[in-house]
Structure 1
Amino acid sequence: MRLARLWIVAIALATSMLACRIPGKSIESKYKNVHQFNFDVAMGPENYHIEGYLTRSAENGRRPGLLVLNGGEGNVERCVQMSQGIAAMGIQVACVNIPGYGGSSGPSRFVGQPSVLASRRALDMLAARTDVDSTRLAVWGLGHGAVAAGLLMDYDSRPRALILESGCYDPITLWPQAPLRTKLSILREVWPSKRILKERSVIANLPPKLECSVLIMHGERDNRVPVGQAVKLADALRVRGAKVSTRYFPQASHDLGKRVEPELRAFLRDNLLDNESRRRILTLHKTLKLA
């Protein structure tokens, strides 16, 4: 009996050690249409390595491009999984972690200048690809990535469509009323002086005129960033001429997960695809519903 127990322990240890030696499947090995999209950005003496993956559409020619900026909510692996459906629409998708998140070096500095530089560099790389139509670009930001996307919108007119999810768009007004958890999170990254908060405010840096479409999504039960931040941004964008759509989820908190996908795909279809592609996708959806 004792010998049998020793054998069981030995087999368990061997199995455990073998499992540790076998690496998990890489993202590229899981998806044949996914390739690395890594790059570096420098800010003074600091160098930031940015982790990213590109999901290529099977459609030929120059296709629309979507840049996804992950910042806390979601990650590149979840983004790549989600991007398969968007690539099937005929859109090239670049999933990128902003500094301080996932495999990207940091710190984040509460979406400081390195995040804006990384976002712009990622957009440059996506727009420069021969299989991307640089006149049909969109940016989707999640969490702190939504702030990076919003700040990118403040200075870069190339994206014709933006999706902003669960972001803090006016930290100046948020700070006095922010939950303790949010305040501690900010204090771990920067000292929240008025100057620093203004630099990171999407609303404070909006240009006087905007010609883009924006989809804002937020959970009404978000206990980190109140939904009022999203409402305030929507009002500010409309004043500046942007075409704004909003989707506030009554039962959702900060991480909206997969519930955003129907609105996201419809928004991308209406703002990035040509008429022929839209008709093809709508026909496919009708066929699937009838099946």
Structure 2
Amino acid sequence: MRRLTTFSGRLSIVAIVLATSMVACRIPGKSIASNYKNVDQFNFDVAQGPKNYHIEGYLTRSAALGKRPGLLVLNGGEGNVDRCVQMSQGIAAMGIQVACVSIPGYGNSSGPSRFVGQPSVLASRKALDMLAGRSDVDASRLAVWGLGHGAVAAGLLMDYDSRPRALILESGCYDPLTLWPEAPLRTKLSILREVWPSKRILKERSVIAHLPARLECSVLIMHGEQDNRMPVRQAVKLADALRAHGAKVETYYFPQASHDLGKRVEPDVRAFLRDNLLSTTSAAAS
């Protein structure tokens, strides 16, 4: 009995260590804004009850004159603001203002994430409000790109906010209720570290469960077929649901890719933004 108890205790310690190892790195570093003349701070705070969350963000300004389309990038584990700011230079050169934001619990944003809980939704909404409210942004041409847990935040934003006319969802979990029974151990440990996975909590975080009756937006879904954290079935199921609700959907499933798709997605992202933001005449300009 003593040996069994000791083994159980060791197993619990191993589980805790594994879960802890998956915590997003939040070590403050030198501001990357100083490396680029067209990058400004985009930090802000959001409050939920007595708790206040400080959100890390950067804005990459396009050199184009007048009001330009705006892209909000939500980083949630895959990628980070450093990578986002580097990537944003090419998108800004297309004539798009790009805001890179880390949702709570990631980058240097305070947390915890709580598996994309209410603070993440609040932060996403405020970031979109700030971007849309800028004098150099055309609020009628907005897009949101979410990576990892940021894709869940972007999807939940789409469920409640009709302003984004284009969304890019990368490597996300869109129906936690069906994910939980089949999730790999690493994913279950990650979820357990943040929330207790009751049906109510999982449904609250389900993009599919809250889709509006009708969607008038374009969505690009990208996912690695070898993703061992979030099965590609999550992306396939979301694509089917979005089409059923009227959205225009494009999908790219990368046969050899795992969870972090890296730079391979950039050509498809730029083409999608070109077709859905830049080729559309703004209401303000007409």
| Aligned alpha-carbon RMSD (Å) | 1.2
Structure 2 unmatched ranges of 5 or more: 1-27, 282-286
- Assess, with a 3 A threshold, how the Cα gap between structure 1 residues 27 and 207 changes in structure 2: closer, same or farther: same
What corresponds to 1:7 in structure 2? none
Shift of 1:26: 3.0
1:28 Cα shift? 1.6
What's the CA shift for 1:274?
A: 3.4
Q: 1:40 aligns with which of 45, 56, 62?
A: 45
Paired with 2:245 and 2:204, the residues of 1 have a C-alpha distance of: 20
What pairs up with 1:98-247 in 2 under 5 angstroms? 98-247=103-252
**Alpha-carbon displacement from aligned partner over 1:26-66 (angstroms, at most 9, x marks no partner):** 31211000000000000000000000000000000000000
Amino acid at match of 2:275: D
Distance in 1 (alpha carbons) for counterparts of 2:170 and 2:29: 30
Larger Rg: 1
Quickly say closer, same or farther: Cα 1:251–1:44, change in 2 above 3 A. Answer: same
The CA deviation string for residues 93-147 of structure 1, in whole angstroms up to 9 with x for no partner, is 0000000000000000000000000000000000000000000000000000000
TM-score (norm. length: structure 2): 0.87
How far apart, in 1, do the equivalents of 2:220 and 2:137 lie? 22
Q: Pick from 63, 66, 73 the counterpart of residue 68 of structure 2.
A: 63
Question: Given the superposition, is the C-alpha separation of residues 213 and 183 from structure 1 closer, same or farther in structure 2, using an over 3 Å criterion?
Answer: same
In the alignment, which residue of structure 1 is the partner of 2:98? 93
Which residue type is aligned with residue 189 of structure 2? L
Q: 1:26 aligns with which of 13, 26, 31?
A: 31
| Cα distance in 2 for residues equivalent to 1:145 and 1:24 | 21
What percent of counterpart residues are identical?
Answer: 87
- Residue deviations 1:217-261 (CA, integer Å, cap 9, x gap): 000000000000000000000000000000000000000000000
2:276 is aligned with 1:271: yes
Deviations along 1:176-201, one digit per CA (max 9) or x if unpaired, are 01000000000000000000000000
Match of 2:16 in 1: none
CA separation in 1, counterparts of 2:138 and 2:276? 13
Distance in 1 separating the partners of 2:29 and 2:255 = 37
Q: Kindly indicate whether structure 1 or structure 2 has the higher relative contact order, using CA contacts under 8 Å at least 6 residues apart.
A: 2
State the alpha-carbon separation in 1 of the partners of residues 107 and 87 from structure 2.
17
TM-score by length of 1: 0.86
Amino acid at match of 2:102: N
SS at match of 1:255: coil
Q: How many aligned positions are there?
A: 254
Runs of 4+ with deviation above 2 angstroms: 23-26
